[in-house]
């Protein structure tokens, strides 16, 4: 890697306020806000709107579309012409 062209990489806390969920990971993202983590250190924090704790796909609350019913309704309506 060439020197002095990449953004600094370091620990960052991503926090989903709607779900009360946060996780610490490495990232090049930065923030002026900080939070004290469980280990007693202070890290930059980035608030996100959706995470695995609040997304319907991961929480199991996703709605499944009835595609079979739609196909049957289409065939009834237009038939095999």
Give the whole-angstrom CA distance, residue 13 versus residue 41. Answer: 11
Q: Which of 24, 22, 17, 27 is nearest to 49 (CA)?
A: 17
pLDDT at site 62:
62
Q: Is the pLDDT of residue 70 over 80?
A: no
pLDDT in tens, 14-53: 998 888 889 999 999 999 999 999 999 999 999 988 877 7
Mean pLDDT across the stretch 50-75? 72
pLDDT at site 72:
79
Give the whole-angstrom CA distance, residue 27 versus residue 6. Answer: 12
Q: Give the pLDDT band of residue 69 (cuts 50, 70, 90).
A: confident
Decide: helix, strand or coil at residue 77.
helix
What does pTM read for this prediction? 0.65
Percent residues over pLDDT 90 in the chain? 41
């Amino acid at each position: 890697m060439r020197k002095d062209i990449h953004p600094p990489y370091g620990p960052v806390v991503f926090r989903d306020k709607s779900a009360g969920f946060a996780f610490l990971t490495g990232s090049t993202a930065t923030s002026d806000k900080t939070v004290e983590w469980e280990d007693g250190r202070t890290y930059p924090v980035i608030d996100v709107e959706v995470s695995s704790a609040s997304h319907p796909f991961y929480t199991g609350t996703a709605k499944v579309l009835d595609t079979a019913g739609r196909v049957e309704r289409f065939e009834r309506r237009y038939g095999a012409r």
